[in-house]
Amino acid sequence: MLRSIRQHAVWIACCTILTMMSTVLVPAAANASSAAPVTRSHALRKHNPADDQGRSKANGHYCDGCTPPLIYSGGQVMDTTGDSGMTITPIYWIPSDWATPFPDDYQTIINQYITDIAADSGTNNNVYSINAEYYQTNSDGTQTNIAYKITAGTPIIDTEPFPANGCELANDQYAGCITDDQIRTELTRVTAAEGVTTNLANIYPIFFPPGMETQDLDGSNSDSAFCGYHRAFGDPGSEIVYGNEPFEASGCDAAQGPNGDVIADGAVGTLSHEINEALTDPTDTTAWNDSSGHEIGDICSGDYGTALGSTDSANPDSTQYNQVINGHFYYTQTEFSNLAYQNYGIGNGCVQSEDAAGGAPATEAGTAVGQVFSYAQPNAIDADGTTTSDISTSVSDHDNNIIEGDSVSFSVYAIAGTGDCGTLSKDAEKTGADGYANITYTASTDDVVCAVVATDSQGGQSSTATLYQGATQAKAPAAADTFPTGIEAGADPAVFTTTFTNGSADDIVEAQVDFSIFPADGATTNVTADQVQLEWSTDSTDGTDGTFTPVALTGSTVEDGGIEGTVGDPGGATIPANSGVTITYRFSIDGAIAPDGDGPLLSFEAYLDQINPASGAGTNLADTGFTDVVVTPSGVAPSDTVSVDTVSADTAAPDDTAGTDTVDTAGTDTVDTSGSDTSATPTDVTTAVDASATTVAPSTSDDSSNAGVIIGVIVAVVVVIGVIVFLVSRKKKQ
């Protein structure tokens, strides 16, 4: 996506002059922290997915760090071979004396949903049909595929009193807290009392009323960590497969209520996620996961696809539906299809039905939503209860054109640390004429890492901006560069670097480095992609050694708003934990370019993004910020300087707002979920770069030429200082 909105930060003139004199690359600092070991879980969570234990941590946004396709590991799937297929029997545990009962239509909507997915068994037009792609291998070597064959069990109203609190209440909105062990005890009692069958052909989602908090085996809770999860326990052949379905007043819906109740419609979304995951991976012996431990629902969490319509013309932005099941309307996430991923590749694995997996993907250029990106400025803030950060979410189509008027919903979850996140100024906003929806985050007083999740309504895509608050600021990914401030047209290539560091205890996977060349402020000369050449290397020390690969560039500076290209394979890089990567570039520009004045012609900026290969959604992790570049005519050497930009979390600004030194991170699995505040320098930065990286220009021994060069250098310095002073109070145009 071409990020066409840029702003300048304040540059201090004296520091800029020192930077012009310097050629030393100062790597951005990163910090280490150690993650506590955890057990495997199957959860729709309110924070980031996948640690090194393969734990499922999909949250209310798309899966950062997922590695599709799904791979079979030998475990059992749900048994759909019988006449009834798989039976879904909801249990509503609500003691008769509980002070806050379920809302009137809550159970009705959920029961109707279960009835509808049962009635549509055998069709290929909803998410349950996708499960037929997956199977289990039997003891005799044969394979049995999952069938879309579901029976709606008779709902059970469980009025048994809740046991004494087994866990500490997160806050005073709860009247009780029940652990997973206590849930299992009650499931054993109530299934026996009701005389129902327990095995892999039955699942019992258990719903809790408002005011009851639940806790998973690892100690995480429904207040801040998860929306629901599925598990199984008991002897083979009589297992109790169940889902923990707490009442979630916020944070677990997509801001859509096609049935007139956003909370109940959100509960349907969580139920859909857990049922589909249970079908393909019901027990602790893994059946179908990707290579990093994510299940069929995790990979597409937060991806909804294009809506089919709305149930309320007066409120079309909040009553959309994307599934028509047995004649009723629902809004649930897509599920991952190995077939769609095989047929259509990266970005097309999350679909709404098996029909979609075999038909053309919905990527009509210029019409459908192509990408959604979110940024936080700054991304690292104090935990003082007052500091704010600007959250910006951009929406573009498949031609990289902005989409105006798209409604974007926002929510915030705690990823790591202890305590709660702050507040958002709005829970929804429409994209403006610039393609951005903008809100404000206000910090809490806790040391936490927070994910602000944005979900657009037109395309059903999600992206995340991550905020590192208080003591967690040291964990933010960082960026640095040695962009030149002057280049001679037609001369030998300028050599410079970018460095991206990962300060967390987890690898950044599916990373992608993008390079953009924008028009500088006031520039009128249009430069096209075929007039510049950009090469990159991770094994060069000074630009003369190593293997360089051309970057495929597209666009133009003035007419298209910028030139851009991806460095290496899209979504194919990994930045190790507590480490980093340095990329060396060689850049040259056509000698026929005639700058239209003494001011800068170009502006360089590079980004570290993370792409979900299943859905194609993206998140920005770090941004170098821009550097304006003066292009001198062929034969006129620029000043031999390099702009050294080191990015630190506490000076972060997003790539679309003020800032040369910019970090713009977004929710990834690169943060330490243990909440540790331990800090350290990264253990390795891949590919050291020669500290003398400079712009290369031809030399001459002619005295008059030397004098001209000296005068040119003086003039360039004066111009740069003038530009700096001018830009202190001026934003960069779109």
Residue 63: pLDDT band (50, 70, 90) is: low
3-state secondary structure string across 41-60: CEEEECCCCCCCCCCEEECC
Mean pLDDT across the stretch 252-273? 95
For residues 111 and 395, which has the higher predicted lDDT (pLDDT)?
111
Is 268 within 8 Å of 123 (Cβ atoms)? no
Report, as an integer, the average pLDDT of 336-359.
Answer: 90
Upper half-sphere CA count for residue 617 (Cβ side, 13 Å): 34
Give the span between the Cα atoms of 411 and 427, in whole angstroms.
Answer: 6
547 Cα distance to chain centroid = 31
Question: What pLDDT digit, counting tens, does each position of 524-558 carry?
Answer: 999 999 999 999 999 998 999 999 999 999 999 99
Tens digits of per-residue pLDDT, 147-157? Answer: 999 999 999 99
Token pair of 195, please? 């005389």
Split at pLDDT 50, 70, 90, the class of 729 is: very low
Rounded CA separation 77/281 (Å): 6
Q: What average pLDDT score do residues 601-608 get? A: 95
CA pair distance 30, 52, nearest whole angstrom: 20
Quote the CA–CA distance of 556 and 518 in Å, as a whole number: 8
Percent of all residues in the chain with a pLDDT value above 90, rounded to a whole number: 57
CA distance 512 to 162: 49
pLDDT at 45 over 90: no
Q: Which of 34-38, 172-176, 716-720 has the highest mean pLDDT?
A: 172-176
pLDDT reading at 695 higher than 80: no
Residue 470 φ then ψ, to 5°: 65, -130
Q: What percent of the chain has pLDDT over 70?
A: 77
Q: What is the pLDDT of residues 619-653, one digit of tens each?
A: 788 889 899 999 999 988 887 555 555 544 333 33
Does residue 421 surpass a pLDDT of 60? yes
- Beta strands 602-611; 627-632: pairing state: antiparallel
Concatenated DSSP letters of 221-277: BTTTTEEEEEEEESSTTS-EEEEEE---SSSSS-S--TTS-HHHHHHHHHHHHHHHH
pTM above 0.85, yes or no: no
Report the mean per-residue pLDDT for the chain: 80
Task: Say if residue 35's pLDDT is above 50.
Answer: no
> What DSSP assignment string belongs to 571-602?
T-EEE-TTEEEEEEEEEEE-TT---SSSS--E
Q: Over the stretch 478-524, which tens digit does the pLDDT of each residue have?
A: 999 999 999 999 999 999 999 999 988 888 888 899 999 999 999 99
Task: Supply the pLDDT for residue 348.
Answer: 86
Confidence label for 198 from pLDDT (cuts 50, 70 and 90): very high
Q: In the prediction, which pLDDT does 571 show? A: 61
H or E stretch including 711? helix 703-727
Query: Which carries the bigger pLDDT value, residue 247 or residue 18?
Result: 247
pLDDT confidence of residue 318: 93
The token duo for 74 is: 């030998």
Higher pLDDT, 584 or 378: 584
Alpha carbon distance 208, 248 (integer Å): 9
Q: How confident is the model at residue 361 (pLDDT cuts 50, 70, 90)?
A: low
